[in-house]
Amino acid sequence: MSYPSARKLRSIANRAAYASAATPVATRRAAYLAKQAAWRVAHPLLTPDRHGQTREQALQRAEGQGMMCPICGRDFEVTRAQAQQGRPVDRHQDHDRHTGRVRGVACPNCNIMIGHAKDQPEILRRAADYLEGFE
């Protein structure tokens, strides 16, 4: 009968030690993520988005604009009560793609239009001139 070499025993011991050390970290991370998700569900208006703004701040911006898109004038259909219940909003936070600063709240179509124009007013002016040439 042959016995495993010392090197093989160290390798087995290292893998066992690593596995036992990694499990608590994975467990703690899963618990942390679950706790975070539960908090976001319990506090939907206080959860920041990718621009660092909460839904409450976005609602305040939209209410400051009269609950309508400043570009096309479309009414935002989701009310404060519906947003508190977690209903998806039909408005986007328009932000400067270079600085990340939030400029206001726009409807999805207008926000995409600004993004396609690369945040350059000259492009939008030329587009308006182009459209007016066909009237």
Read off the pLDDT of residues 89-116 as tens digits, 9 standing for 90 and up: 677 888 888 888 889 999 889 999 999 9
pLDDT score at 23 = 62
Q: What is the 3-state secondary structure (H, E, C) of the chain?
A: CCCCCHHHHHHHHHHHHHHHHHHHHHHHHHHHHHHHHHHHHHCCCCCECCCCCEHHHHHHHHHHCCCECCCCCCECCCCHHHHHCCCCCCCEEEECCCCCCEEEEECHHHHHHHHHCCCCHHHHHHHHHHHHCCC
Read off the pLDDT of residues 45-87 as tens digits, 9 standing for 90 and up: 677 777 888 878 888 888 899 989 999 998 887 666 666 666 6
Please indicate, yes or no, whether the overall pTM of this predicted structure exceeds 0.95.
no
> What CATH number belongs to 55-132?
3.40.1800.10
Domain ranges of the chain: 1-42, 55-132
Structure tokens at 97: 């793609």
Amino acid letter, 93: Q
CB within 8 Å of 76: residues ≥ 6 apart:
62, 67, 68, 69, 89, 90, 91, 105, 107
State how far the Cα of 87 lies from the Cα of 109, in Å rounded to an integer: 19
The answer to whether 98 and 119 have CB atoms below 8 angstroms apart is yes
Neighbours of 66 (CB within 10 A): 11
Amino acid letter, 124: L
